[in-house]
Structure 1
Amino acid sequence: MSSELKKRIVSAIVLAVGSLWATWMGGLAFDILSAVIMISIYYEWSTMTGLSARHYPSYAFGWFAIALLSLNLIVGDPALGVPLLAGLTMTALILLYLRDCSGWFPGGIFYAGLSGISLAAIRGSDATGFVAMIYVFAIVWATDILAFFVGRAIGGKKLAPRISPGKTWSGAIGGTVSGVIAGGAVSFSFFPQLSFRTLGLALLLSIASQIGDLFESFIKRRFGVKDSSHLIPGHGGVMDRVDGLVFAGFTAFLLAVIHAAWSDAGGTSVAAFVFGL
């Protein structure tokens, strides 16, 4: 076994055990994990897009924004997360207009900030939040793994050749089917009935996770980098590992917010929305 493969295996085990432990514990442990993901994503986004090398005042504001969002996530009020993110993103857009800096600057704040906020909101603080997070993990992991193997086994027409030449329509369909099955299996393991709502959401999250993968591939191709960073030995960067997860998290979180506003159910958690509780 090569030393590179050993590094990949050890890193994968550490990441999986740490993530699942934080998910099981919930509360502060998962909020810290979400904040670490947020900070890592902004660091990698800034590095890939060159924000650190130009327009220093805007770059400094970006880190101030991420630090503020992280602190609110860990010791603040979760209800303030979205309004705070919206205000910081709008401020970044104003700075973009006034200083003519890179458009990737406000995008990085929004993308990284929403990543942490969404994941923390899905996990929440109760047992249902644990199930919801495992449900999202299962969909994303099943989609990613089966898309790879089905795509290699069947091949066929490319999904997005200009962005990610290795991905095929057969892999995307295979990944989506497996994601729905995995999400349904998790739901049925914890709840007596399997609803069309849960299966339909699994379908949307599986598709969203693949869009997230393509989105990160687009950024890397746009800036000519192979990995988002070298933070994870043998695996590249955090964005390389969570691109599908954060897009699936975005989708579940935003749909829950829209549903709460539409039905006037302001106190409904993301987990309750996922399982129709």
Structure 2
Amino acid sequence: MKSSTGGNAGSAPPPPEAGKASDLKVRMLSALILGPLVLAAVWAGGWTLRALLAATALLALNEWLRMVAQDRLATALPAGLAAVIVVLGVHVALGPAIAMLAAFALAGVVTATAGMGRWLVGFGVPYVAAGVLALDWLREAPEAGLALFLFVLLTVWATDIGAYAAGRSIGGPRLAPRISPKKTWAGLLGGVVASGLAGLGVAVAAGAASPLLALLVGACTAVVAQAGDLFESAVKRRFDIKDSGRLIPGHGGLLDRIDGLLVAAPVLALFHATAGVWLRWW
């Protein structure tokens, strides 16, 4: 029986430091397991990677709809997942540009299943599709596909790590206190530096034409990735949700892990296909 002064030692909650250390261990273990699997699929490319990207798209949209559709989930979920499958098929058959047109068209259909005023429900289709199609397009780019995919993947990872390290060690003014109270300007700067260095490292290893320009692109990628992170945080705050799901132990949902990548990948793909051509950055 517990005493009136606080109970026995076995029932006492662990100190906050122990909880944080335990959570960090779980996060690291998840990363050590999933990271090599993802990199192996990226290295293989082709249909191995496309299968992973298709699964990613379906899981991410599932989490998105569970956040924003809520009471209309029974009709929005099958419509949304079917839309993503159609978009992926169009991408394979006709390419990413036509696939994105299909994604926006089908977004209207999915929105209609939840009510025309609930545009966030349908927006999930082009939101997820843009990131996944861009990743596939980057990997399939002639000659430099693997390097470009690794560039966006590693710079986004470096952004998260650099932002976490700088934010925890330096602290300071909040970046967007109403959206994500834990993010700081120091964290953003740490992410920019880490991402730029990661981009430089990939460029040097790949023999890119302009490693210094790659460093600047990597730094810009960090800003874009952080914007993607803040966007998802704003959506979660609107619906009073802490994590998009519980798929990855210690990390939350899949969408929580790839929110920056879903935005950074299409931006990098557009840059590489347009300004990147005459800049000869790669």
TM normalised by structure 1 equals 0.83
| CA distance in structure 2 between the partners assigned to 1:91 and 1:273 by the alignment | 39
Q: How does 1:51-90 map to 2 (within 5 A)?
A: 51-54=69-72, 56-73=74-91, 75-79=92-96, 80-90=98-108
Partner of 2:116: 100
TM normalised by structure 2 equals 0.82
Q: Contact 1:179–1:206 at 8 Å: present in 2 too?
A: yes
Q: Contact 2:131–2:262 at 8 Å: present in 1 too?
A: yes
Q: Contact 1:146–1:171 at 8 Å: present in 2 too?
A: yes
Q: In the comparison of the two structures, how many residue pairs are matched?
A: 262
| CA distance in structure 2 between the partners assigned to 1:199 and 1:90 by the alignment | 39
| CA distance in structure 2 between the partners assigned to 1:66 and 1:31 by the alignment | 13
Correspondence for 1:35 among 33, 51, 54: 54
Q: How does 1:151-166 map to 2 (within 5 A)?
A: 151-166=167-182
Shift of 1:127: 4.6
SS at 1:145 equivalent: helix
CA RMSD in angstroms comes to 2.8
Q: How does 1:184-203 map to 2 (within 5 A)?
A: 184-191=200-207, 193-203=209-219
Aligned residue identity for 1:251: V
| CA distance in structure 2 between the partners assigned to 1:186 and 1:142 by the alignment | 12
Shift of 1:48: 0.9
| CA distance in structure 2 between the partners assigned to 1:46 and 1:84 by the alignment | 19
| CA distance in structure 1 between the partners assigned to 2:94 and 2:252 by the alignment | 33
Partner of 1:266: none
Q: Contact 1:8–1:235 at 8 Å: present in 2 too?
A: yes
Matched, 1:218 2:239: no
Q: Contact 2:130–2:266 at 8 Å: present in 1 too?
A: yes
Aligned residue identity for 1:40: L
Q: Contact 1:115–1:249 at 8 Å: present in 2 too?
A: yes
Shift of 1:40: 1.1
Aligned residue identity for 1:67: I
Matched, 1:238 2:251: no
Aligned residue identity for 2:221: L
Structure number with the bigger relative contact order (C-alpha 8 A, sep ≥ 6) is 1
Seen in structure 2, the aligned counterparts of structure 1 residues 273 and 252 have a Cα distance that, compared at 3 Å, is: farther
SS at 1:225 equivalent: coil
SS at 1:76 equivalent: helix
| CA distance in structure 1 between the partners assigned to 2:215 and 2:251 by the alignment | 31
| CA distance in structure 2 between the partners assigned to 1:3 and 1:154 by the alignment | 23
SS at 2:183 equivalent: strand
Structure 1 gaps of 5+ residues are 261-269
Partner of 2:67: 48
Correspondence for 1:227 among 243, 254, 257: 243
Correspondence for 1:141 among 123, 137, 157: 157
Q: State the Cα deviation string for residues 22-62 of structure 1 (Å, max 9, x = none).
A: 1100111111111111111110000011x252275454432
Seen in structure 2, the aligned counterparts of structure 1 residues 196 and 7 have a Cα distance that, compared at 3 Å, is: closer
Matched, 1:128 2:133: no
Q: Contact 1:23–1:130 at 8 Å: present in 2 too?
A: yes
SS at 2:241 equivalent: coil
Aligned residue identity for 1:45: W
Structure 2 gaps of 5+ residues are 1-17
- Give the structure with higher Rg (CA): 2
Partner of 1:13: 32
SS at 2:246 equivalent: coil
| CA distance in structure 2 between the partners assigned to 1:100 and 1:82 by the alignment | 21
| CA distance in structure 2 between the partners assigned to 1:55 and 1:45 by the alignment | 10
Partner of 2:11: none
Shift of 1:156: 1.0
Shift of 1:88: 2.0
| CA distance in structure 1 between the partners assigned to 2:243 and 2:232 by the alignment | 10
